[in-house]
Chains A and B, each alone.
Chain A
Amino acid sequence: MPLFFIQSLAILQKDLKIEWRTRERLGAMAFFAFLVVLIFNFAFEPASPIVKTAAPGIFWIATVFAGLLGLSRSFAIEKQNDCLMGLRLTPADPGAIFLGKMLGNAIAMLILAALILPVLVVFLNVEIAPALPRLILPILFGTLGFAAVGTLFSAMSLNTRLREALLPMLTLPMLVPALLAAIESFRAVLAGHPLSKIADWLVLGGAFVALFVAACLLLFECVLED
């Protein structure tokens, strides 16, 4: 396997191992997402027609805002003991560092999404089970897009004083196309449309992921520089 991918996998494995041992990130993200869905449960009448329309938005609001919590933690572990400098001192390709961190964030987001779906069913009484296989692609593209943009801006905002405020302000506007595609395709799937009917949204989501991952792989060296 090329060294680039060995290094990416080493970073991914390291991040997952630390998360498994501390459970700091996923625990906070899951609790926050649960609270968001709970609050929407008070705002809407469960199983009403409007819930079916709003459910995709609620799902992505919970996922994205809980994900932002996790993103700031993702690079915080590199700041501890100046580990980021340790990484920068190695000859590892900055793109490999980005890819490893991005995959770690994407996996955390996918686990989060898997936890939110049953909460939506319980609290908002949305029927998701029949649409589940068709939801995989919209959720995958949405989380990968979020992880790509979020990982880049999380690294950029690492040494800024207003990191917590800056990260959502930078990430959310950039995510609009990916979120639009993810919400619309999620809504169409819940309405019972086949994948062929939402091909345009899936292409937009997939193209967003491809474009941003490629751009971040190239730009990450500048982000890591002093």
Chain B
Amino acid sequence: MDGLGLNTLHSPLMITSAIVIRNLTHRFGHFAALQDIDLVVPKGQTFALFGPNGAGKTTLLRLIAALTRPSSGEIWVCGDNARRDPKMIRKNIGFISHHTMLYDDLTARENLAFYGCMYGLQNLDARVEEVLGAVGLTDRQRDRVRDFSRGMKQRLAIARSILHQPSILLLDEPFTGLDTAAQSMLSNLLIALKAEERTVFLVTHDFAKGLALADRFGILLRGQLIREASTKEVDESELRTQINSRL
């Protein structure tokens, strides 16, 4: 491990990387959901992870978000170790999945104010106002989430995930069930985050979107990372063929 320069928070790899994963294995009983994963995502880059259902993509995201402790191996997010500093990691990440994580019987504004409180944000009202504007929901801020369309709920979920200005955004199939307008809004947000040099880790089935947005990509198959490369080195059809041939 020392040879990798991971023994100190100030090692060059830690300084330049948003996510560092070393020898990561995660088991559910005897089933190995992830095996010997090694991955480095540099700061400011967008990384897309592809793979079929059951490949272990969501498990990997949950491990990076420190929601689950790995069976073996280590994960560092912005230099914080997932086993030792899960709280620090949660301060630095935003998470978007196809579940909105919003309370249906609270208004859009109340949902964001609640989460802002849980993050311990200062100047909460101003920040809530700002993110509501960013996702185009200022006019509907006093309406209950129950009355929102799927697209509006997902826009609010995006607002929730960027409320605390995280350095890293983790996205689990974020385009699922979105209408065209919401998909385009999400794509624009990801481009804007990239311009702000924030790191994005995207898990998706959508090769075209993933390749268009990401700098690098990985293919996860049966818990193993079988390829990791720059998105410039591959096109959609080649990727599809590679995954299908290994299935």
Q: Is the CB of B90 within 8 A of A6?
A: no
A90 at the binding interface (Cβ < 8 Å): yes
Q: Collect the chain A residues with CB atoms within 8 Å of residue B115's CB.
A: 86, 90
| Contact (A90, B100) CB under 8 Å given A226-B62, A226-B67 | no
Q: Is the CB of B106 within 8 A of A90?
A: no
CA distance A7 to B115 in the complex (A): 9
Q: Is the CB of A90 within 8 A of B119?
A: yes
Q: Taking each of A85, A86, A225, which has the highest tally of chain B beta carbons within 10 Å of its own beta carbon?
A: A86
| Mask of B68-108 contacts with A, CB within 8 angstroms, 1/0 | 11000000000000000001101101010101111111100
For chain B, which range describes its interface: under 10, 10 to 19, 20 to 34, or 35 or more residues? 20 to 34
Nearest residue, chain A, Cβ from B28:
A226
Q: Is the CB of B87 within 8 A of A91?
A: yes
Residue from A7, A17, A18, A80 within 8 A of B118 (CB atoms): A7
Nearest residue, chain B, Cβ from A14:
B114
Q: Is the CB of B101 within 8 A of A81?
A: yes
CA distance A92 to B115 in the complex (A): 10
How far is the CB of A74 from the nearest CB of chain B, in Å? 13
Q: Is the CB of B117 within 8 A of A6?
A: yes
A199 at the binding interface (Cβ < 8 Å): no
Residue from A10, A22, A89 within 8 A of B114 (CB atoms): A10
CA distance A226 to B104 in the complex (A): 24
Q: Is the CB of A89 within 8 A of B90?
A: yes
Residue from B68, B101, B117, B144 within 8 A of A10 (CB atoms): B117
Q: Is the CB of B103 within 8 A of A83?
A: yes
A43 at the binding interface (Cβ < 8 Å): no
B57 at the binding interface (Cβ < 8 Å): no
Residue from B101, B103, B110, B120 within 8 A of A3 (CB atoms): B120
Q: Is the CB of A6 within 8 A of B120?
A: yes
B60 at the binding interface (Cβ < 8 Å): no
A77 at the binding interface (Cβ < 8 Å): yes
How far is the CB of A85 from the nearest CB of chain B, in Å? 6
Q: Is the CB of B106 within 8 A of A17?
A: yes
Q: Is the CB of B103 within 8 A of A92?
A: no
| Contact (A18, B103) CB under 8 Å given A91-B90, A226-B68 | yes
CA distance A92 to B120 in the complex (A): 8
Q: Collect the chain A residues with CB atoms within 8 Å of residue B104's CB.
A: 80-81
Q: Is the CB of A92 within 8 A of B102?
A: no
Q: Is the CB of A17 within 8 A of B110?
A: yes
CA distance A82 to B65 in the complex (A): 15
A-B contact pairs, 12 of them (CB 8 A): A6-B120, A14-B106, A82-B97, A83-B101, A86-B101, A89-B90, A89-B95, A90-B119, A91-B87, A92-B118, A92-B119, A225-B69
In addition to A91-B120, A226-B68, 10 A-B residue pairs with Cβ atoms within 8 Å of each other are: A10-B114, A17-B105, A81-B101, A85-B95, A85-B99, A89-B67, A91-B87, A91-B88, A91-B118, A92-B118
5 nearest A-B residue pairs (beta carbon): A86-B101, A82-B99, A10-B117, A90-B118, A226-B68
